[in-house]
Amino acid sequence: MQTVLHAAAMVPLSIPSPSWSGFDIPLPWGTLRIHAYALCILTGIIVGLWLTSVRWKRRGAPEGSLWDIAIWAIPFGIIGGRLYHVFSSPDAYFGPGFDGTGDLSLIPQIQRGGLGIWGAVVLGAVGAWIGCRRAGLKLTAFLDVAAPGLLLAQAIGRWGNWFNQELFGAPTTLPWGLQIDPANANFPAGMPADTLFHPTFLYESLWNLAGVALLLVLDRRFHFRRGRLFWLYAMYYTVGRVWIEALRIDDAEQITLFGITTRLNVWTSILVFVVALAIFLVLGRGGRPVPDTPYLAGREPEAASPKDDASVTSVTSHDVERSVSDSGSRDNLPDNQSDPGHVDEPQEAAGDSGKAAQATPVSGTAATAARKAPGSTPKADDTK
């Protein structure tokens, strides 16, 4: 028992700050810095794409179409996420009150952190729409498929905040409080060096992972279509983002509405939730059923219709039967008719004989005599 208590006492009652934030790759002209933040974002994108590819294939989408869409959606999403962050936290870039004292050169330096999810989703959806239109696929079908993968990518990408020691919450005495290096530029001024903070990156990561499981279960149960699963994702994420955002103490744009002053991201989350709920309910109203296909109208893959198959089969069968019938008829004709190149008697005599045969009915005895007449063939004689 004492051993267990001793081991428990040795377990740190906090989350330590990371001592590693990336590595350098030596190059002939210098070094290339690989940031842990970027690795987290990249890992999240890869894992999210994997989950999306599995679900996209099950929806019957053409092979390779996911990459045709992702090549547009990912760059658009990164640009949109960065722009949203810059304008929602403008002091570092434009100076307090946009007084021009900021550093504009920091805007493209995304390795320092700072990607706003709402900008990433909005502009990423624009890129996805471009990719879907070019591939002849429905944007709503893609958004439904990608929603769990997007949330999974966010869950993994949030760990980049831990490596950067940024976007943490208010001070706390909870045993899972986060340590921040007092020498770090993000450490709040005037606070004791041993202060612990809410690990908001961990809260959001766990919230998102739970959301991935929830979306997958609900989609399997209800088979959401027409973009409804995506709007369900938006509702779920914003609920968590409101309480998590309220814990954070980093600099952010403050907005006052209805006499309440809070962070811009809180108001944005509330607005997105209301809009997503309204769209989700409208799309859920009964109406004309929509075919469960990821293809745009008129862009479905070409396939022969059953009518065309029947027509082809009928024509082929008719040709075959006629060929067999003609072959049989030629076998039953005398050689001088079935084979124009073989003539045993003058054409005029043959013509007169044919006319006589058509004009006068032939009795059985006369027919037998005719078959034994000169010009008949053994083959014709054998056929009765």
pLDDT at 378 over 50: no
Euclidean distance between CA atoms 334 and 242, whole angstroms:
98
How many whole angstroms from its chain centre is CA 94? 37
Bin 176: left if φ > 0, else alpha if -120 < ψ < 50, else beta: alpha
- What's the predicted TM-score (pTM) here? 0.72
Number of other CB atoms surrounding residue 82 within 10 Å: 20
Task: Report the chain's mean pLDDT, rounded to a whole number.
Answer: 79
How many whole angstroms from its chain centre is CA 232? 17
Q: In sequence order, what are the beta bridge partners of 33?
A: 24
Q: Is 83 exposed, middle or buried (0-12, 13-18, 19+ CB in 10 A)?
A: middle
pLDDT of residue 118: 85
Bin 348: left if φ > 0, else alpha if -120 < ψ < 50, else beta: alpha
* For residues 287-295, average pLDDT: 70
pLDDT at 183 over 60: yes
Helix (H) or strand (E) holding 33: strand 30-35
Q: Using 50, 70 and 90 to split pLDDT, how confident is the model at 329?
A: very low
Q: Is 54 exposed, middle or buried (0-12, 13-18, 19+ CB in 10 A)?
A: exposed
Least confident piece of the model among 6-15, 25-34, 275-284, 324-333: 324-333
Residues 6+ apart with CB under 8 A from 31: 24, 25
Q: In sequence order, what are the beta bridge partners of 248?
A: 169
More confident residue, 110 or 57: 57
pLDDT of residue 301: 77
Q: Report the amino acid identity of residue 64.
A: G
* For residues 185-191, average pLDDT: 91
More confident residue, 308 or 77: 77
pLDDT of residue 3: 60
* For residues 217-230, average pLDDT: 92
Q: Using 50, 70 and 90 to split pLDDT, how confident is the model at 289?
A: low
pLDDT of residue 88: 80
Phi, psi of 270 (to 5 degrees): -65, -45
* For residues 19-26, average pLDDT: 86
pLDDT of residue 49: 95
pLDDT at 55 over 70: yes
Helix (H) or strand (E) holding 197: strand 196-197
Q: Using 50, 70 and 90 to split pLDDT, how confident is the model at 217?
A: very high
Looking at the chain, the number of H-run helices and the number of E-run strands are 15, 6
* For residues 229-237, average pLDDT: 96
Least confident piece of the model among 160-174, 187-201, 290-304: 290-304
Q: Using 50, 70 and 90 to split pLDDT, how confident is the model at 52?
A: very high
**Rg value, the chain, Cα:** 40
Residue reference for tokens 């078959």: 371
- 128 close to 72: Cβ distance less than 8 angstroms: yes
